[in-house]
Amino acid sequence: MTTPNLPRWTGLAAPPGRFAACQGTVCDSGTSCVTSPALDPAEREALIGLLLDSSAEAIYGVDARGRCVFVNRAFLRLTGYDDADALIGRRVHDLIHHRHADGSPYPASECPLVRTYRDGGELHGDDETFWRRDGTPFPVEYWSHPLRRDGKVIGAVVSFFDIGARLRDEARLRQAAAVYESTLEGVLITDPDANIVAVNQAFIRITGYAEAEVIGRNPRLLASGRQALGFYREMWHALTTEGGWEGEIWNRRKNGETYPEWLAINGVRDGHGRLINYVAVFSDISRLKQSEARLEQLAHYDPLTGLPNRLLFQSRLAHALNIARRRASRLALLYLDLDRFKNVNDSLGHPAGDELLVAIARRLGQRMREEDTLARLGGDEFIILLERIDAPETAALVARQILDLLAEPFQLSDGHEVFVSASIGISLFPEDGGDVTELVRNADTAMYQIKDNGRDGYRFYTESLTHAASARLELETRLRRALERQEFELHYQPQVAVADGRVLGVEALLRWRHPERGLIGPDHFIPLAEESGLIVPIGDWVLERACAQARAWLDQGLPPLTIAVNLSMRQLRQRGLAGRVGEILAETGLEARWLELEITESMMMNRADPALETLRELKALGVGLAMDDFGTGYSSLAHLKHFAIDRLKIDRGFVRDLPTDRGDLEIAATIIAMARNLGLEVLAEGVETHEQLAFLSERGCDAYQGYLFSRPLDADAIPALLTGAG
Ligand code: C2E
Ligand code: MG
Ligand code: MG
């Protein structure tokens, strides 16, 4: 780089104020400086030259006519000229100031700077544009100081620098400030320690906090409590490792209302990479959310009934299928089509039809469990998804209930009473299909078969299921009615002492005298009665009937008999069973000691079972307790002590092959021996042969019941048996 040739300075005094304090003739401030008489003129000149050249500001000197006297190095750098000597004597105005900022000519006669060269005034401004040698303009801030000799103005020294960058920064800042204040997005700025240092108008509008209420505080004050701690931990992690975070977050307004916002936080660093601020920009997206929800509603729900539409139904079904597959559970689809709905529309008009559909949807909805989905497929077609059903009959039961529900007339607002019926087709997973399309199609097919068969009913896609389910349902309905119609009766099977053949008691066994099917044994209906809960009223009837019968026999003058009554699990779990038994005993006038209740092992799985308490209460009444079907369950003999049992009944299964089967033989012998050890009585069930009886007798079994002595008998047959045996 070439050092430009600078002009000689001799005789020139530095302008006051712009350079270091000066004692020259024109200067009235300061102490020693380059003009100090301590320096010889050559040194002084060199020093001034050095000073001028080390300045970052461009400096030039002109005479009173504006001709260049000197320029410094910064001048050359800024204007793009390279030869200082070539500039000397040229009019500086023409060199760098000949045009206005807009490019129009700028006559020297109009230039305020030029005026100072002549007139000597000081001038400072930042509104001028200078031009480089290559024709590009740049805005400047400048100072002009007069140059005097012997008190007379002989020119000026002008310094200036390019303020383009500064102006650009200022403009940017002004724009940013305008954006900051006018944007719809809330802006919050914190220091590195997350203390709020600034917020904008939108922040104030969205959150409801005034600026003064939040400055200096932690943005935590906006937290809604909806996000877990881990959420914020992740946010901070992203902020510290990635320098920013963006996402959806729920915050709380000053009035307590929570709202969703889309939030972007960024760290701001200075030129040295030090974190100086966090800037959070957020927009309130509750509106957006609302319209999203609205869209979701439109896309997935039927506008008339508010029920899920086909689209949503299919996605729920797909989801349910995944779960059912994983859990190996069953689910059912009920495809429901109203019968002759077109008639309603045609005769009463569409508004009435719509009203009816809404009412039907509401009524159906009442029957649904939480986990079920009821959807409207369109028109008069509905579909129901039943998740996790235990047996096909459950689906049939729901279908039946739905048909019953719809059978009640609908009252329309115009006063019309409308009767509707429906046809329901049922498909099951996994039996009738493995995917959405197949299951829906098969339920639909089954529905059309009902329509072909005269409507108003349900049908499974798999035909055999329809029969099985309807048989079962019919049985349940019949069973319900059997109690009212007094179709139940008790038969009594004698229990006999092994030692002397004396009748000790009888076991009451339930029978159902079905009007068409004749006498039905308990094995055919007790399980269903248990499932449906009907066993509770039925069992109550059995207890009452048996006690009344025992009392009647006593009243007839027969020797006292123990009457054994079977209890089901459902009954035992019922609250207040002991109280009810006490009532029955009181009503019938039977002493408690003549009643024995039979329970089975499976009812007593653990010692914490609340049923144990019921057993104790029964025991306290003075009622006997027997363990029925012993050996088929899992309880150990020692376990029995906790049940307060008086008697064990060896299950018929172990008696049947006595005394030939070695296994049975050992089991029966062991049960007898251990029961005796525990001080329990033992009764063997199902004794049919003399060999069996002989074995039991030999092993010390106390009592037995079985066809060998007598089948279960009608109540009337018992007295003869007793008197005969007695
Ligand atoms: P269980 O209490 O073990 O009753 C004995 C069953 O064995 C009776 O069948 C009886 O008829 C049958 N049985 C008796 N001796 C012989 C024999 O020598 N050979 C054969 N093969 N069978 C014999 P039933 O009356 O059909 O009763 C079946 C089960 O139904 C009963 O078993 C009992 O668990 C239940 N049950 C009967 N009545 C009631 C009741 O009122 N309530 C409850 N919850 N269950 C009852
Ligand atoms: Mg029994
Ligand atoms: Mg038994």
pLDDT tens for residues 147-160? 999 889 999 999 99
Beta-carbon contacts of 146 under 8 Å, excluding residues fewer than 6 positions away, are 15, 116, 120, 121, 122, 153, 155, 156
Which pLDDT value is given to residue 29?
A: 38
Contacts of 463 (CB under 8 A, 6+ apart): none
Q: Is 566 in the pocket of ligand 1 (CB under 6 A)?
A: yes
What would the pLDDT profile of 415-448 be if each residue is shown by its tens digit?
Answer: 888 888 999 999 999 999 999 999 999 999 999 8
Residues 6 or more apart in contact with residue 684 via CB below 8 angstroms: 649, 650, 655, 668, 692, 696, 701, 703, 704, 705, 706
Q: DSSP state, 52?
A: H
Specify if 30 maps to a domain. no
Of 25-29, 573-577, 644-648, the one with minimum mean pLDDT is 25-29
Ligand 1 atom closest to residue 571's alpha carbon, by position in its atom list: 44
pLDDT at 126: 92
Any idea what the CATH number is for the domain that residue 671 is in? Answer: 3.20.20.450
Tell whether ligand 1 has an atom less than 6 A from the beta carbon of residue 521: yes
CB of 629 closer than 6 angstroms to any ligand 1 atom: yes
Q: What pLDDT score does 9 carry?
A: 40
Q: Is residue 393 part of a domain?
A: yes
Mutate to test the pocket of ligand 1, among 506, 509, 654 (most ligand atoms within 8 A of CB): 509
Q: Per residue in 177-226, pLDDT tens?
A: 888 888 888 999 999 999 999 999 999 999 999 999 999 999 999 998 88
CA–centroid distance, 686 to ligand 3, in Å, is: 8
- Are 247 and 384 in a shared domain? no
Q: Which positions ≥6 away from 466 have C-beta within 8 Å? A: 396, 458, 459, 460
State which residues form the domain around 138: 41-167
From start to end of 132-257, where are the E strands? 137-149, 152-162, 186-190, 196-199, 244-252
Fill in the amino acid letter for 158. Answer: V
- Which atom number of ligand 1 is nearest to the Cα of residue 510? 38
Amino acid 13 reads A
Tokens of 479: 């069973």
Ligand nearest to the CA of 650: 3
Q: Does the beta carbon of 494 lie inside 6 Å of ligand 1?
A: no
Which is nearest to 338 in space by CA: 305, 386, 378? 378
Which atom from ligand 1 is nearest to the alpha carbon of 567? 44
Q: What whole-number distance in Å separates Cα of residue 178 and Cα of residue 168?
A: 15
Residue 631 Cβ contacting ligand 1 at under 6 Å: no
Of 426, 461, 496, which closes a domain?
461
The answer to whether position 245 is within a domain reads yes
pLDDT at 634: 58
Pair (441, 536) in one structural domain = no
Q: Is 200 in the pocket of ligand 1 (CB under 6 A)?
A: no
Dihedral (Cα; 74, 77, 81, 86), 10-degree rounding: 30
Cα 386 to Cα 14: distance, rounded to the nearest angstrom: 100
CA dist 415 and 249 (Å) reads 51
656 and 705 housed in the same domain: yes
Nearest residue CA, atom 23 of ligand 1? 686
Average pLDDT, integer, range 276-305: 86
Domain-embedded: residue 235: yes
Q: Which ligand is nearest to the CA of 686?
A: 1
pLDDT-derived band at 369 (thresholds 50, 70, 90) equals confident
Res. 724: pLDDT tops 80? no
Residue that is written with structure tokens 């304090």 in the block: 21
Q: Are residues 409 and 434 in the same domain?
A: yes
Distance CA(315)–CA(385), nearest Å, equals 12
| Domain CATH for 386 | 3.30.70.270
Say if residue 635's pLDDT is above 70. no
* Co-location of 273 and 349 in the same domain: no
Mean pLDDT of the chain: 87
What's the mean pLDDT in 274-293?
87
Ligand 1 atom nearest to 568, measured from its CA: 44
Q: Is 522 in the pocket of ligand 1 (CB under 6 A)?
A: yes
Cα gap 46→151, rounded to integer Å:
25
Using pLDDT thresholds of 50, 70 and 90, give the confidence band for residue 623: very high
Q: Residues 335, 440: contact at Cβ < 8 Å?
A: yes
| pLDDT at residue 725 in the model | 45
Indicate if 377 and 355 belong to the same structural domain. yes
Q: Tell whether 172 is covered by a domain.
A: no
449 found inside a domain: yes
- pLDDT on residue 604: 64
CB of residue 712 inside a 6 A radius of ligand 1: yes
CA distances from 245 to 226, 230, 279, 520 (A): 18, 14, 11, 75
Find the mean pLDDT for residues 641-661. 86
d(CA 324, CA 330): 6
CATH number at residue 121: 3.30.450.20
Looking at the CA of 489, name the nearest ligand.
Answer: 1
Query: Residue 149 in 3-state DSSP?
Result: strand
**Is residue 196 located within the same domain as residue 51?**
no
CA dist 624 and 360 (Å) reads: 54
> pTM here?
0.50
- Residues 660 and 575 placed together within one structural domain of the fold: yes
What's residue 539's pLDDT? 95
Angstrom distance (rounded) from CA 610 to CA 31: 108
pLDDT given for residue 722 in this prediction: 81
Residues 643, 613 contacting (CB under 8 angstroms): no
Rounded to an integer, what distance in angstroms lies between the CA atom of residue 669 and that of residue 646?
19
Residue 8 has pLDDT above 50, yes or no: no
User: What's the domain count of the chain?
Assistant: 4
Residue 13 has which token pair?
């005094």
Percent of the chain as helix, strand, coil, to the nearest 5: 45, 25, 30
606 lies in some domain? no
pLDDT digits over 460-508, tens only?
Answer: 988 777 777 777 777 888 888 998 999 999 999 999 999 999 999 999 9
Q: Tell me the per-residue pLDDT of 576-589, one tens digit each, with 9 for 90 and over.
A: 899 999 999 999 99
Peptide bond into 659 cis (omega under 30): yes
User: What local confidence, expressed as pLDDT, does residue 608 receive?
Assistant: 64
* Residues 78 and 191 grouped into a single domain: no
Distance between CA 62 and CA 114 in Å, rounded? Answer: 9
Q: Are 457 and 430 in contact (CB under 8 A)?
A: no
Separation CA 644–CA 596 (nearest Å): 13
CA of 509 to the centre of ligand 1 (A): 6
Residues 583, 704, single domain; the answer is yes
Distances (CA, A) of 247 to 101, 232, 268, 386, 545: 47, 11, 19, 38, 73
The answer, yes or no, to whether any atom of ligand 1 lies below 6 A from the CB of 597, is no
| CB of 509 shorter than 6 A to ligand 1 | yes
What's the confidence (pLDDT) of residue 509? 98
What pLDDT score was predicted for residue 20?
36
Residue that finishes a domain, picked among 115, 132, 167: 167
Domain end among 167, 199, 224? 167
- Give pLDDT, residue 466: 73
Q: 61: left (phi > 0), else alpha (psi -120 to 50), else beta?
A: beta
Q: Does one domain contain both 160 and 51?
A: yes
Terminal C-alpha separation, the chain: 144
Over the stretch 120-156, which tens digit does the pLDDT of each residue have?
989 999 999 999 999 999 999 999 999 999 889 999 9
Contact criterion met (CB below 8 Å) for 565 and 543: yes
Alpha carbon of 715 to those of 491, 493, 506, 551, 553: distances in Å? 6, 10, 10, 12, 9
What are the pLDDT digits (tens) for 506-528?
999 999 999 888 999 999 899 88
CB atoms within 10 A of CB 669: 19
Ligand 1 binding pocket includes 686 (Cβ within 6 Å): yes
- Of the pLDDT bands very low, low, confident and very high (cuts 50, 70, 90), residue 17 is very low
**Is a pLDDT exceeding 50 seen at residue 645?**
yes
CA of 589 to the centre of ligand 1 (A): 26
- Judge if 627 and 659 occupy the same domain: yes
Q: Is the Cβ atom of 710 under 6 angstroms away from ligand 1?
A: no
Residue 470 lies in a domain: no
Distances in whole angstroms, Cα of residue 389 to Cα of each of 80, 327, 333, 429, 690? 91, 12, 11, 10, 49
